[in-house]
């Protein structure tokens, strides 16, 4: 499932948020608590260790970087126990006046792959639309640390 959003900021500004693993629960709908960020994030193979869900029902989870091209591409394997894992691809495309963010997500393993596409779309499109709205808000308000 794919969603897009134009953000009036340069790709480097958007990347700054994506590359700050500690900001993950601020913009990813469903992630609620960051436990640890591997050194070197977002290098391929590094992980974000986070929780999903609301207290008192929070599950410890992790997300791993599978591809990274700074200021252009971040691809993640998001483990979502017990439903399986999803592949999330975030592309940054420069456009006049800003950046188009293109986010694709699909179930990759586990029981979630059995869910019909239209049902997945009904859940993922609104959630990922909100995720990109949050990401834009953080970028525009420069909420993350400058490293």
Tell me, what's the pLDDT at 117? 77
Tell me, what's the pLDDT at 104? 96
- Range list of β-strands (E), 13-128: 31-37, 47-52, 59-69, 73-80, 84-95, 98-109
What is this structure's pTM? 0.89
Tell me, what's the pLDDT at 35? 93
CA 29, 147, 76, 34: dihedral to nearest 10 degrees?
Answer: -50
Q: What mean pLDDT, rounded, does the chain reach? A: 90
Tell me, what's the pLDDT at 108? 84
Mean pLDDT of 51-65: 82
DSSP for 123-141, written as a single string: HHHHHHHHHHHHHHHHHHH
Domain interval for residue 23: 2-140
**Count of the separate structural domains present in the chain:** 1
Domain-located, residue 19 = yes
Tell me, what's the pLDDT at 59? 77
Domain-located, residue 31 = yes
Q: Is the pLDDT of residue 147 over 70?
A: no
Mean pLDDT of 79-86: 78
Domain-located, residue 147 = no
- Comparison of pLDDT for 121 and 75, the residue scoring more: 75
Domain-located, residue 145 = no
Domain-located, residue 146 = no
Mean pLDDT of 59-87: 90
Q: Residue 55 is part of a domain; what is its CATH number?
A: 3.30.530.20
Tell me, what's the pLDDT at 134? 97
Domain-located, residue 22 = yes
């Amino acid at each position: 499932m794919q969603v897009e959003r134009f953000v009036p900021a340069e790709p480097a500004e958007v990347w700054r948020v994506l590359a700050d693993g500690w900001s993950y629960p601020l913009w990813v709908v469903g992630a609620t608590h960051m436990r640890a960020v591997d050194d070197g994030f977002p290098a391929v193979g590094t992980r974000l260790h986070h929780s999903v869900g609301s207290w008192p029902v929070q599950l410890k989870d992790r997300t791993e970087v599978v591809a990274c091209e700074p200021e252009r591409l971040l691809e993640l394997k998001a483990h979502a126990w017990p439903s399986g894992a999803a592949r999330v691809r975030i592309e940054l495309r420069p456009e006049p006046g800003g950046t188009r963010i293109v986010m694709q997500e699909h179930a990759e393993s586990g029981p979630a792959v059995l869910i019909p596409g239209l049902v997945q779309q009904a859940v993922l499109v609104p959630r990922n639309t909100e995720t990109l709205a949050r990401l834009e808000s953080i970028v525009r308000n420069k909420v993350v640390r400058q490293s």
